[in-house]
Amino acid sequence: MHLNFRILAGLVFCFAVAVCLLPSVARAHAVLLESNPPLNGQVAGPNIPVRLRFDVRIDATRSRITLVAPDGSTQALPLDKETTAETLTSQANGLKSGQYKLRWQVLASDGHLTRGEILFTVV
């Protein structure tokens, strides 16, 4: 019985260590560090440069940005070819006054998809 307790205690310890290590693995996912337009920001239209910078390398060929207009219609924004490994850039043209969303999806260097939204207003 004493031996079974040691085995159980060892398994509990290994499980606790594994749980403590999980947050460090999750940090490898792409985290948005900064954006233009800024989250909940106001920008002057009608043409808006779009720039999203992440904390890790991303695969731009498997990433995307979608613009959601005030009326709910969506438009995929073409990504610029010349960007850094951590950045996506594009251009949203002809925007009228109103509240917009940028929906982004990136494939991080760890192989995981990360998604998010940036609300902003064109004045």
pLDDT tens readout for residues 8-57? 555 555 455 454 444 444 445 899 999 999 999 999 999 999 999 999 99
Q: pLDDT confidence of 92, banded at 50, 70, 90? A: very high
Tell me, which fold does domain 29-122 have in CATH? Immunoglobulin-like (2.60.40)
Are the C-beta atoms of residues 113 and 106 closer than 8 Å to each other?
Answer: yes
Cis peptide bond prior to 46, omega within 30° of 0: yes
Residue positions counted in the chain: 123
- Residue located via tokens 């310890």: 13
